[in-house]
Amino acid sequence: MLHHFSEDPTIERFVPHVPATNPSHRPAVWAIDSEHAPLYWFPRDCPRVTVWPRSAGGRTHFQSWFLTSAVRLHAIETGWLAAMRDVVLYRYDLPADAFSPWADARGQWIAEEVVAPLRVEPVGDVLALHAEAEIELRIVPDLWPLVDAVVNGSATGDWDFSIVRKQFARPRRVS
């Protein structure tokens, strides 16, 4: 089973499109697997950083680097807390046989044909989802220090990360 998350509960079919953030990509429908679904437990335009260890062996370094005991770390800016509290988010379940793995990102899948959802359900309180999954959700005044730590540390760290909608983040502060 694959998923799509949206604030719109009325989508009857997903039509391939070229994403605005990747205009050279061929038209496709994107989906996420269950393991990576927490990447989308946010309001659509919410800028966020998510990071998690690739392996059990890398977990110690991950937890030390990010000063956490959590299995994953997600962060949003303080200005998005109200939206996180208020968002009504829906999970669409999609047929896996319509998709193939997207080589550019683990856990993401693409289809080049129209896909009809199997079902749609509200996900409930996204803050509670994070807590139940033991994902640390940091509310930070500025995402950029964490963006830098994630990217710069990935050369020696055994972790994967996703940085989404950074164009909506507060501007980087110049020292």
Which of the four pLDDT bands, split at 50, 70 and 90, describes residue 61?
confident
- What integer best gives the mean pLDDT of the chain? 93
pTM for the full predicted model? 0.90
pLDDT of amino acid 155: 65
> Which residue shows structure tokens 């110690």?
60
Mean pLDDT, residues 29-46 taken together:
96
Q: What backbone torsions phi and psi does residue 53 show, to the nearest 5 degrees? A: -70, 145
In one-letter notation, the amino acid at residue 50 is: T
Q: Which of 53-62, 75-84, 154-163 has the highest mean pLDDT?
A: 75-84
In sequence order, the 6+-apart residues with CB closer than 8 A to the CB of 22 are none
The tokens for 122 are 């509200």
Express each pLDDT in 66-88 by its tens digit.
999 999 999 999 999 999 999 99
Q: What backbone torsions phi and psi does residue 26 show, to the nearest 5 degrees? A: -70, 155
Mean pLDDT, residues 46-72 taken together:
91
Kindly tell me if the per-residue pLDDT of 27 is higher than 70. Answer: yes
Q: State the Cα angle at 116 between 42 and 2, rounded to 5°.
A: 50
> Which residue shows structure tokens 């070229």?
18
